[in-house]
Amino acid sequence: MSKRIFTQEQIATLLKNNNVARCTEKSITCRKDFKLAAVKRHWEGLSPSAIFREAGFNLAIIGRKTPKWLVTDWRRVFDKKGAAGLQEDNRGRHSQGRPPGLKRMNEKEKLKYLEAQVAYLKAENVFLAKLRKQRLN
């Protein structure tokens, strides 16, 4: 997370840019069409900084390295999820979260899960025993 904090004047300047959907003290959210255009322009060989300068961003305000990080992230998301992945605000949506715990499972699901876990641990013990045996020889 960036340590950069935008002033109210910087926020006002950024919000005047048509490519900015939202801006707070700590973050800028770009519009989906700009993200797609930036990914396309980067594929064409244009540098991230040049893309952002062309789009009217002041690199002194947003940070010199920010364009590179953003375009790299947008390309990764586009490669995985396509254009739909580049929603205006996709922060925090990369993770699938924790798997459901035992409390949310019914009895059959719990039993199946625990049996699989026991089988895995038994196989792991067999593997470790073989490994120990090899080290002793």
pLDDT tens digits along 71-130: 999 999 888 888 888 875 555 555 556 666 777 788 898 899 899 999 999 999 999 999
Between 49-53, 63-67, 92-96, 130-134, the lowest mean confidence (pLDDT) is in 92-96
Identify the pLDDT of residue 137: 74
Residue 90 domain-assigned (yes or no):
no
Residue 91 domain-assigned (yes or no):
no
> Is residue 76 domain-shared with residue 129, that is, in the same domain?
no
> Is residue 49 domain-shared with residue 79, that is, in the same domain?
yes
Residue 119 domain-assigned (yes or no):
yes
Identify the pLDDT of residue 94: 52
Residue 1 domain-assigned (yes or no):
no
Is the Cβ–Cβ distance between 67 and 77 less than 8 Å?
Answer: no
The number of distinct structural domains making up the chain is: 2
Give the mean pLDDT of 34-44: 93
> Is residue 15 domain-shared with residue 77, that is, in the same domain?
yes
Which domain does 70 fall in, by range? 8-85
Domain final position from 57, 85, 113: 85
C-alpha to C-alpha distance for 52 and 38, rounded to whole angstroms? 8
Residue 95 domain-assigned (yes or no):
no
Strands (E), the chain: 20-23, 28-30
Between 19-23, 33-37, 82-86, the lowest mean confidence (pLDDT) is in 82-86
Residue 96 domain-assigned (yes or no):
no
C-alpha to C-alpha distance for 51 and 68, rounded to whole angstroms? 10
Is the Cβ–Cβ distance between 30 and 21 less than 8 Å?
Answer: yes
> Is residue 14 domain-shared with residue 81, that is, in the same domain?
yes
> Is residue 65 domain-shared with residue 24, that is, in the same domain?
yes
Residue 39 has pLDDT above 80, yes or no: yes
> Is residue 56 domain-shared with residue 108, that is, in the same domain?
no
- Across the chain, mean pLDDT equals 87
Identify the pLDDT of residue 93: 54
